[in-house]
A and B are shown apart, each in its own frame.
Chain A
């Protein structure tokens, strides 16, 4: 199977969907001539031309709102946010207009847009560029929220997102763009809302998503080697819709849960998960649900300290050992 990067996987998904559906159009800052701020869209302008691959001004409220309006008439815009952190300047368009228009019109209008871009800390860009808004987004009924951790998942999920008739917010990770993984040459789709058990285990379930999946897998390896603890790692892949059944099945197997996320703790995705697990699998739990998040402060700049602010394998190991006490 070909080994390609997370960046290439996303690019391939875009190219395949652009090829398949003439209503798909890619819009965003620097996506065309510049080849993408993170080179995700490199080569697409040359292949598909300026009508399909469109550089926008730095004007998120304008161009995202424009994409929402165009989607109401049947265009399928895939809009790149250079950073998901910039969603704040387009909040009204994303979460009032895209999220609500179907409901407020009594189901008469659809909004088949995708907004994609990186949402992560860990690159020393400070508090304004390090937001992880998946909890904020998923708090709005009407939207779907996807956070892929591997090249394989990124490609299959993005293709599904582009074909979806509801607005899908696709949160990538700048640190993962260069990571390689096996991706089939033949076309495949991964349905939104289907979690993936990335590692099987019997002592502890780590529920996680995004880059924290990789940290959790590294921690699981060390926990096995150094502590003889068998960890199961469940990658949610999609926040909304949410595959809680896979999580609950794992809890029923291990009876111990650690949630790992790059969110700030207050009202995070993990908060919702913890509520659902205790509600639906109370009798399966042998101890309280534990959670490891980003340390609760705006993203610090200082490079060595930011590593400690975010979840990392060492912090996960410590949290896992606590969860097993």
Chain B
């Protein structure tokens, strides 16, 4: 079982129970959630829905062999990226691992450039050079999209270092999965962040499984609590509840921006799909567990029910948001399909800044070899 909160999903929970529990989310009273307008809430819900529909559409494209390599879907974890990224100010930055589509949508990247990247097209966000695991949008303070477990965490610490060096009031959110917490690079980054009081929040998206190995089979102790060993603040929160994600993250973002304090936040979440779509997902967790989460904890359902209870959403509005998200994902697939592939001539572009800017090149000699 993934984590204490997720350990015993109530066997009797039904939609109604979830509804009444959710409408009373204690996190709703947090100031950061109290200031949300109706339109803000609809926007959060819409972004979550757009992630869900994008991921479902990309899965179909993968099954139709339109997408190569790996595809790690964010389905089930939408409230995490949306909750965190909804708090971003102009000097706040994001970096994550390979399950990176949700964050990309949450920071505002268009679906077209993302789907085109999955299709390996020249119109993709990385011109077809990065693929699913390597989405980037530095113009939206989104620094990827990184393939090696935990390898992005020192980079995120470096974003925070740069903010502090330049005297900017901002924070870096460095996302990782629960599998990353045992990587040495993560611990080295924790130490540096605390030692130098860098404005970085290490966000552990704990979906319970590092690939096919459950938390209890891979990690000793509480994941967030490891922060205490580095004299950093930490907390856990419920990643199925976008209000709770926002309320928890807001506190630490304020501390990072205003006092340059690092923190670790463990956000408990769950993925419905396999580690990647190549994972048949039939060896390491019971199907009933997945169903239980879908029924009782689905972040979109939970938020939808809360917003209905709050009088923000109506059935008609939900339907129109859903239809628009499906249509947008479909249009993205059409855009990707219609886009050209990069050409073999593009292979050696974007390797060196100097090679791409020959007029400003200062070095001499050969940069490429055959």
Contacts and interface: CB of A to CB of B under 8 A. Distances in A.
By size class, the interface of chain B is 35 or more
B189 A106 contact: no
Given A61-B154, A69-B161, A92-B148, A106 B362 contact: no
Interface stretch (A218-226, A235-243, A283-291): A235-243
A68 interface: yes
Contact of B129 (A96, A97, A106, A166): A106
B208 interface: no
A144 interface: yes
Given A59-B188, A65-B158, A160 B362 contact: yes
Interface in A78-110: 92-93, 96-97, 101-110
B143 interface: yes
Nearest to A105: B136
Contact of B354 (A65, A67, A166, A244): A166
Nearest to B113: A106
A193 B192 contact: no
B22 interface: no
B154 A193 contact: no
Interface string B331-370: 0000000000000000011111110110000111111110
Contacts, number: 195
Chain B CB count within 10 A is highest, among A103, A191, A276, for A103
A70 B165 CA distance: 9
Contact of A243 (B348, B351, B364): B364
Given A57-B191, A106-B125, A65 B366 contact: no
A105 B104 CA distance: 13
A104 B145 contact: yes
A25 B351 CA distance: 25
Contact of A66 (B158, B353, B365): B158
A56 to B, nearest CB: 8
A107 B139 CA distance: 13
Contacts of A69: 95, 143, 154-159, 161-162
A96 B351 contact: no
Contacts of A324: none
A96 B367 contact: no
A100 to B, nearest CB: 8
B108 interface: no
Contact of A105 (B134, B188, B367): B134
Given A73-B159, A110-B353, A164 B363 contact: yes
Interface residues of A, number: 57
B122 to A, nearest CB: 9
Contacts of A70: 158-159, 161-162, 165
Interface in B173-200: 184-185, 188-189, 191-192, 195
A161 B100 CA distance: 33
B299 interface: no
Given A104-B136, A160-B362, A72 B126 contact: no
Interface in A103-119: 103-110
B126 A62 contact: no
Given A66-B157, A241-B363, A244-B366, A96 B130 contact: no
B148 A96 contact: yes
Nearest to A57: B191
B138 interface: yes
B76 interface: no
Given A141-B368, A240-B367, A65 B143 contact: no
Q: Give 10 closest A-B pairs by Cβ, nearest first.
A: A69-B158, A65-B154, A62-B188, A193-B365, A69-B155, A107-B350, A106-B127, A241-B365, A73-B162, A105-B136
18 contacts: A64-B154, A65-B188, A66-B157, A68-B154, A72-B158, A73-B159, A105-B129, A105-B136, A105-B144, A106-B128, A141-B348, A164-B354, A164-B363, A193-B363, A194-B364, A242-B365, A244-B365, A272-B369
Given A69-B161, A104-B145, A107-B349, 10 more contacts: A59-B191, A64-B154, A65-B154, A67-B158, A68-B154, A69-B158, A73-B158, A75-B158, A96-B147, A166-B352
Interface of A: 25, 51, 56-57, 59, 61-75, 92-93, 96-97, 101-110, 141-142, 144, 160, 163-166, 189, 191-195, 238, 240-245, 272, 276
